[in-house]
Amino acid sequence: MSKRLNGKVAVVTGAGRGIGRAYAHALAAEGAKIVVNDLGAAVDGSGREESSAAAVAREIVELGGEAVPDTHSVADFDGAEQIMRTAVSTFGRLDILVANAGNIRMAQLHESSAADWRDVMAVHADGTFHCIRHAVPLMLEHGGTIITTGDLSQGFHYPQLGAYRAAKAAIMVATLTAAHELKQHGINVNSVFPGTTSTRMAEAFFDGLDDKEGFYADAKEHFQADSEAAAAEPETVPPVGVYLCTDEGRSITGRSFVMDGTGIGLCTTTSELSFIAPNTAAWTTEELIARIPEWLTTAEAAAIPVTTTQG
């Protein structure tokens, strides 16, 4: 197997388990030196157990790669800077950032606490920003690759995940913004969405559903697929991300990919909008009452088209 990332240094956050661990191993297999970042928290973000990052780093070293653990929190602005500094102090540079750290707190919005909302946003949205903010200055001279971890709603409601999905929406906007801003510096920025994948977070979601039967029925109808089918393994997610780090893939930026087992989905960033105009100079409440319901039943809803290639 050719090692297309020899000499590159990568930071992978949330790399102590699941998809982050799979990213760390996949990048190392291509020759990259890895900073394995993981706070060692529970799936809801509580607690701290630092051995998971060390264990993954040790696995990579035992396979002949180079890796060091890091246990700073991405939710902390200064902590995120220390993660990036670990890459430079240990390996001399930083070329790749995989912003993958996450947590989950399940509750309906009207029942969520301020802490639930804050803690989820802090890891997903703030954490992604913190990492990008501190990684980019270390990449400006030689370029690099940033991969964020997004999520695609596909017009489907995932119950009790208001904070999580709001955070993922913020990540998508940040990803597209960074892609535009950093293209001139030779830094490509893309997002990879895991499909239904066997992770602690997915397990916590399904276990925490108030109405499992209702969710499975709605999902089956919406996706026209078996919603209870076996989840893909974490190792199915990194291939596209690794490709985007190679010389061949670094020209691609501002894109969003969905990894769903062996399927690769490409999400376009355009939406089809339907407009109506008032019959008079300005809208009145009476005209809106008369026209909005009919318009909503006939207009094409704004949507994000998804193209899936099975491989």
Q: Collapsing DSSP states into helix, strand and coil, what is residue 76?
A: coil
Q: Give the E-state strand segments of the chain in sequence order.
A: 9-13, 33-37, 67-70, 96-99, 144-149, 187-194, 256-260, 263-267, 306-310
Q: Verify whether residue 243 is a known catalytic residue.
A: no
Contact criterion met (CB below 8 Å) for 40 and 53: yes
Amino acid at 100: N
| Residue 18 · residue 43 · CB < 8 Å | no
Q: Which of 158, 164, 216, 243 is catalytic?
A: 164
194: which strand partners? 259
Indicate the angle between helix axes 77-91 and 127-135, nearest 10 degrees. Answer: 40
Pairing of strands 256-260, 144-149: unpaired
Distance CA 10, CA 33 (A): 6
Backbone torsions φ then ψ of 212, nearest 5 degrees: -65, -45
Per the structure block, which two tokens stand in for 86? 């670990």
Token pair listed for 25: 């191993």
Contact between residue 167 and residue 232 where contact means Cβ atoms under 8 Å apart: no
Q: Which two tokens stand for residue 285?
A: 């409440």
Identity of the amino acid at 121:
M
Name the β-bridge partners of 257: 192, 266
Q: Report in angstroms the alpha-carbon separations of 39 from 83, 193, 212.
A: 11, 22, 31
As a whole number of angstroms, the distance between CA 155 and CA 234 comes to 24
Catalytic residue annotation: 164
